[in-house]
Amino acid sequence: MKPENLAYPYGVPVISGLIKSRPEDFEVIEHLDFEPSEQGEHLFLLVEKTGLTTPQLIEIIARQHALHPRQIGYSGLKDRNALTRQWLSLHLPGRELPEKPRDGEGYRVLRAHRHYSKLRHGTHKSNFFRVTLRQVAGLEEVTREQLQALATRGMANYFGPQRFGREQDNVEQALKQLGNARLKRSRRGILLSSLRSYLFNQVLSRRISLGHWDQPLDGDVFMLRGSHSIFSEPLDQSLRQRFSMMDIASTASLYGSGESRLAGEALQIEQRILAEHEEVTACLDRQAVRRQMRALRVALDTFDYEHDPVAKTMRLQVSLPAGSYLTSLLAHFIAVSEPAQEAFRYRQNQPSDGPSR
């Protein structure tokens, strides 16, 4: 039960390339939806890192400040094999906040500000990606059409493969392990997310296969662009126009307890998928997680690309809302693979071709 063979709206990719050949080939910058207040007992840090996972970074900074990792907040997990910038918050009650904490191996602190509350998971607004794909021999006409469609019609909001574990077996592991009293809380959360993500991907894939992805359906619940606000109204010309203008998107359930807000044809499609995966829904029912909604489609901001046929590189810039995956965007037009980790670690220790951006 691996997350594979998903349908994509603009056809199968006909080109391939290599991603994350070196850290600076994959840059991610996290953007908050607010500015720190400059007051309070929390220290917000904007940290640039490479060669570290977010949990590893948190462990290092926790030791540096004599904190428990739970006293450090973060909004999103960032790749290890990349050059990333993300925000952390350190809870330092009754302690004088340092003007700028010191840098460490694999990371440096770019900004430091006071704030009155902890940084919570999923509270950043967006991630800006600057990516270089290598060994891209050329752009076929169908690829250019796929890229144009992405720019004008958006991307299918699939959960990316990283949601399902290194071996892509988190769903199978969740069905075996959930319910074990000894299971760590963090591991339980990962497995629960994998199950819900799997079901969502199946619903989205079915709607694409049926031709119902880029048009609203009777019974849809809609999400406003740029927010998580949802609403449902009878489908009329005004809603259809807002949909075509990318102001709203249809949603599907992140499965959990509670009745679905969907109705009509939209609900029927989702119910058929859930019925086909009763083992997964039964497992989630036993875990008592609450149902949520997620947009099926994401409009792309700051989407730009450039192909160099001589160097066989493709440079891509795009801003995605929090919770959307660059790997899912790439899967719309290119099949990518990563270099062996040994080769990556070797390149990390070599001088780069130029300064980091």
C-alpha dist (Å) from residue 240 to 100, 155, 262: 50, 18, 17
Q: Which residues contact 114 (CB under 8 A, 6 or more apart)?
A: 36, 37, 38, 39, 40, 41, 42, 43, 44, 97
Tokens 């891509």 found at: 316
Q: Determine contact, residues 50/34, Cβ cutoff 8 Å.
A: no
Closest CA to 30 of 87, 70, 73: 87
Two structure tokens written together for 3: 């997350």
Axis-axis angle for helices 278-287, 185-209 (nearest 10): 140
What is the enclosing helix (H) or strand (E) of 284?
Answer: helix 278-287
Whole-angstrom distance, CA of residue 339 vs CA of residue 351: 18
Whole-angstrom distance, CA of residue 78 vs CA of residue 57: 10
Whole-angstrom distance, CA of residue 339 vs CA of residue 343: 7
Which residues is 155 bridged to in the sheet?
298
Q: What are phi and psi of 141, to 5 degrees?
A: -60, -40
Q: Looking at the chain, which runs of residues are DSSP E strands?
A: 15-18, 26-32, 42-50, 72-74, 83-91, 107-115, 124-134, 155-156, 222-224, 230-231, 248-254, 292-295, 297-298, 301-308, 313-321, 334-337
Closest CA to 111 of 44, 61, 29: 44
Instruction: Select which of 25, 79, 214, 220 is catalytic.
Output: 79
79 an active-site residue? Answer: yes
Closest CA to 39 of 132, 123, 113, 98: 113
Active site residues: 79
